[in-house]
Amino acid sequence: MSEKLEQLKKNLGEVSDINHAASVLSWDQQVSIPPKGHEARGQQLATLGKLAHERATTDEIGKLIDELKTEFAGADPASDEAAMIRVASRNYDKATRVPSEFVAEQAVVSSKAFEAWGEAREKSDFSIFQPHLEKVVELTKKYVSFFPPADHPYDTLLDDYEPGMKTAEVKEIFDNLRPKQVELIKAISAAKQVDADFLFTKYDEKKMNDFGVDVITKYGYDWSRGRQDKALHPFETTFSVNDVRITTRFEEDNPTAMIFSTLHEAGHGMYEQGVNQSYERTPLESGTSLAVHESQSRMWENLVGRSLPFWEHFYPSFKETFSQQLDGVSVETFYKAINKVEPSLIRVNADEATYNLHVMLRLELEIAMVEGSVAIKDLPEVWNTKMEEYLGITPPNDAKGVLQDVHWSSGLLGYFSTYALGNLISAQLWEKINEDISGLDDQIRNGNFSELLEWLRKNIHQHGQKFEPQTLVEKVTGSRITSEPYVRYLTKKYSQIYGL
């Protein structure tokens, strides 16, 4: 193998190690840290961020990449080597535009903002979070300024999560989708409503947790290479292809949400566990984009986990566990209940028909924050107004409104639209999977997920970052990201449930 490529991999392997170390520190901060440990942790993360950045932007790496581009000019663009050099070059270009000191400052600010967000959410008091968010947005604008002007400043942020995607492109996809989703919701509203009251009684947390663990074990989440803990906000994090962790949470007033959190994060986790082991510590490790990642989590959460075949398999044992709560509830009734469409406050608990509207709201607010057209102090009000406009409901407090998501506290602007794109990709893949696997519903009905996981391993997971998201989606499904399969999926599912 090329000596220069070996040298590049050695250098970037160290960067990967530092970044993974930072991930361990962040995981610990969300799962285990004692209350007064946050300040030092912020400092430690700042130092690791600074170091990783310094190490990723050395002249040596720049020179190696340039030389490797020449050396591999004639190589198959679909080879691992060519992909590695391409991704390394992209990362290097991005990283060299941003000064080390800026990265360190951002880490300190984010750490404090995260802590303030936790307190603000607990007390449902946006004013605690406001000055921190102002600082986060200020730094975000400064970040954008390091890059060449794009069609829209938000493009620069979006591109970090969804390589190559443009704000205008996302808007177009969303503009196509929105009227169809709104139309569907209207039709559902006019139909006979389903009963879901039995979901919102008292359920035992431990038993609920155990059920989720049981399901993802059958899914194929590999516990020898992962674990699940409780956290304020559910997430997946990767320390190596052999250490991929997830978190979940229990909400007293929405107990079954814990299951879907677990299935969702396990979907992310199985993607990470399925990446080619030889990509470890190279630019090709991990999933290729947030939207593709989300397609995996949403598939295992919704297309599998909220399907009738799934519950035909799991419901008997679930009902036995919660015999009191589910007395007289048939599997069909349960299936309809967990798919009840109802405009609601919390994005992560939103049903499939309304979910994307939550995302569209956030995308608009983020664009407004970046443009400066909305003052941070006015966010709660704007949030509530838009919730009323899109979903017809107003949050009773900021904890259930503008403070519900962790993202902004961690400086993650540009991120949200990938959630909706992930939904679209999941349905696009699902159509293809059902062409390729005959009798998938029957397999699911028998609690057999191995052929599905194998398909995903082969077509999506193993590739890591080798293919850019649009390339991968097109390679697998024959078309770039489009909303049509998702609309077909929603229409079919809800027509059956609501007798439309």
Binding site for its own copies (CB under 8 A): 13-14, 17-18, 20-22, 24-25, 28, 32-37, 39-41, 43-44, 46-48, 50-51, 223-227, 239-243, 245, 280-281
Say how far apart CA 349 and CA 250 lie, in whole Å.
Answer: 12
* Cα distances (Å, whole numbers) of residue 166 to 173, 174, 177, 415: 11, 12, 17, 13
Burial class (CB in 10 A: 0-12, 13-18, 19+), 59: exposed
Report which of 179, 186, 170, 233 is spatially closest to residue 419, judged by C-alpha positions.
Answer: 170
**What secondary structure letter does DSSP report for 242?**
T
By beta-carbon proximity to its own copies, the closer residue of 2 and 240 is: 240
Which residues on adjacent β-strands are paired with residue 226? 244
Of residues 325 and 462, the one with the C-beta less far from its own copies? 462
CB of 241 to its own copies, least distance (A): 8
For residue 317, how many other CB atoms are within 10 A of its CB? Answer: 12
Q: How many CB atoms lie within 10 A of CB 206?
A: 9
Cβ closest to its own copies, residue 226 vs residue 305:
226
Distance (Å, rounded) from C-alpha 463 to C-alpha 237? Answer: 18
The 3-state DSSP class for residue 243 equals strand
- Residue 244 or 359: which CB sits closer to its own copies? 244
Q: Are 251 and 258 in contact (CB under 8 A)?
A: yes
Measured from the CB atom, is 46 or 184 closer to its own copies? Answer: 46
Q: With contact defined as beta carbons under 8 Å apart, do 162 and 418 qualify?
A: yes
Q: 254: buried, middle or exposed (CB in 10 Å: 19+, 13-18, 0-12)? A: middle
SS3 228: strand
List the beta strands (DSSP E) in 78-155: none
Question: Measured from the CB of residue 244, what is the shortest distance to its own copies in angstroms?
Answer: 8
H runs (alpha helix) in 305-395: 308-321, 331-338, 355-371, 379-391
Token pair in block for residue 293: 């990642």
Contact predicate 48/102, CB 8 Å = no
Q: Which is nearer to its own copies, 27 or 129 (CB)?
A: 27
If DSSP codes are grouped into helix, strand and coil, which group holds residue 234? coil
Which residue, 121 or 245, has its beta carbon nearer to its own copies?
A: 245
For 450, residues 6+ apart whose C-beta sits below 8 A from its C-beta are: 220
Candidate list 115, 169, 265, 294, residue with the active-site label:
265
Largest Cα–Cα distance of the chain, in whole Å? 70
Q: What is the closest distance, in whole angstroms, from the C-beta atom of residue 44 to its own copies in the complex?
A: 5
- Kindly tell me which of 51 and 444 has the beta carbon lying closer to its own copies: 51
Beta-ladder partners of 236: 246
C-beta of 273: minimal distance to its own copies in Å? 10
Q: Rounded to the nearest whole angstrom, what is the least distance from the CB of residue 329 to its own copies in the complex?
A: 35
* DSSP code, position 130: H
Considering the complex, state which of residue 20 and residue 358 has its C-beta at the smaller distance from its own copies. Answer: 20
| Cα–Cα dist 126/433, whole Å | 44
Name residue 344's amino acid: S
CB of 47 to its own copies, least distance (A): 4
Amino acid at 2: S
Q: How far is the CB of 197 from its own copies (least distance, A)?
A: 36
Q: Is 265 a catalytic residue?
A: yes
In whole angstroms, the minimum distance from the beta carbon of 31 to its own copies comes to: 8
- Considering the complex, what minimum distance in angstroms separates the CB of residue 106 from its own copies? 16
Please give the positions annotated as active site: 265
